Amino acid sequence: MICRRICRKNPWSFSQRWRSVSSAAAPPSSNVAGFEIISTIRAPAIIFMKPRKLFYFRNPYKGNCLSISFGTKGCNLTTQAISDHPIDGVVDVPLAQTGEGIAECELLKWFVNEGDEVDEFQPICEVQSDKATIEITSRYKGKVLKFIHAPGNIVKVGETLLKMVVDDNAFPSQHLGAPEITKPPLVSNASELDVVDIGFKKANIGGVVCTPAVRNFAKQLGVDIENVPGTGKDGRVLKEDVSSYASNEGILKESLGLYTASSDEREYEDRTITLRGFQRAMVKSMTLAAKIPHFHYVDEIKCNSLVELKTSFQNENSDPGVKHTFLPVLIKSLSMALTKYPLLNSCFNEELQEVTLKGSHNIGIAMATPHGLVVPNIKKVQSLSILEITKELSRLQQSALANKLSSDDISGGTITVSNIGAIGGKFGSPLINVPETSIIAIGKIQKVPQFDDDENVYPALIMTVNIGADHRVLDGATVAKFCNEWKLFIEKPELLMLQMR
């Protein structure tokens, strides 16, 4: 700010005066405007028709270093830290914030290899938080120099993922040309001078070239990948190279010795598994759920009419991409019951002692995937038809199996349904998905004998449901009335026609 005011009031004091001293053999030794000269740079000839010296000054006051460049029209100021510039053209690419409350992610896989050219915004890797799977794109255009992490590692937000060699144009220079560094004159107190080098040197692209899988394989064997000679193209280290090196060093025998044993004496080793991704999310949510006083209400629902309705849907289905099941009808009928009893579609804030009745029926469906338990939700069920619910449910199931659920898919739920009957079991005792106030576990449909009013035995298709409720918010009578309303729509699905809009 001081320089800006002086420059505006007396432009010659910087521009013209600087020109008069710039042709000197050495820069002036005295301080100018309270700034100490810390390095000099020779500007390109296109600025002043012939090479001139360009001085950089360091602010003697506390705070960020203020770099000042002088041109033909006065001075330009920037508060950009010198540390933001790449060192020798190499930049660290950190893991950016992937969502609110996310502190770390698991690195799933790399989309690029070391030595590959990368464009700006090109996907470079895939990470998984406890909420979703996300693709990380490159902020720069350049070449991948070195991977810092291998797939399977836990990376904290802000930690370096990889190093890149950026192009000269990746960081726009404040000068008209690439500055040439001129060494400052030798002085007795040279160790105290902070020399600022903003020139982009060509990086020495070294290190070991190998795929993340090979690097991870070497890590499992306890082999330093830097010591393994590569036999692949351009010295690339292959998996065979790691195995050969480990065998020659005796490391492979030690590793295999843990698992080899005679038929008489077998050693069974314990394994420690680190919980990742959705499994970590389940630990957090279930820990919170254990603090909630649960109230469970169990009932049986006759599903004869539901089975007939599903069979009718499937017989009249003309779209091969749509598969009709019981669940979409159960979800729609559940939404109809929530309209009458909105307290079950709410969230509880313990600190404020407030209950928020949610306007949208975002019904979550618990899904067991190879990556762990995940609960995506179908948004605004009250405004969807049964066919639309069927298609959205299918999309969520496919995305969950492929580990491609977005943050929006798994956030914003208001009530959860766990269809444990699809796997097996008559019923379960579910735990609430905080901050929701209710959850429903659905058992499998079984054919059991029952008596009619005339005491005649007839076969009935019975489904057991277990409603878990937060007893701080919901009482038993409210849950029982809600279940009776839902049960009515399931046993007589034709009543849905009277209520649906």
Positions annotated as catalytic residues are: 471, 475
| Residue of 450, 444, 442 lying closest to 486 (CA atoms) | 442
CB within 8 Å of 500: residues ≥ 6 apart? 332, 336, 385
Q: How far apart are CA 169 and CA 171, in angstroms?
A: 5
Q: What is the largest CA-CA distance in the chain?
A: 116
Whole-number Å distance between alpha carbons of 248 and 296 = 63
The DSSP line for 230-270 is: P-SGGGPPPHHHHHHHHHHTTHHHHHHHTT---SSS-----
| Cβ atoms of residues 84 and 67 within 8 Å | no
How far apart, in whole angstroms, are the C-alpha atoms of residue 230 and residue 241? Answer: 6
- Reference 485, options 318, 294, 341, 310; nearest CA is 341
How far apart CA 71 and CA 18 sit, in angstroms, is 10
CB of 65 closer than 8 Å to CB of 90? no
Q: In what order do the strands lie in the sheet with 36-43?
A: 52-58, 36-43, 180-182
Cα–Cα distance for residue pair 195/87, rounded to 1 Å: 13
How many CB atoms sit inside 10 A of residue 54's CB?
24
Distance CA 476, CA 367 (A): 28
Using the structure block, give the residue that is written with the tokens 């969520």.
396
Angle CA(110)–CA(114)–CA(119) in degrees, nearest 5? 75
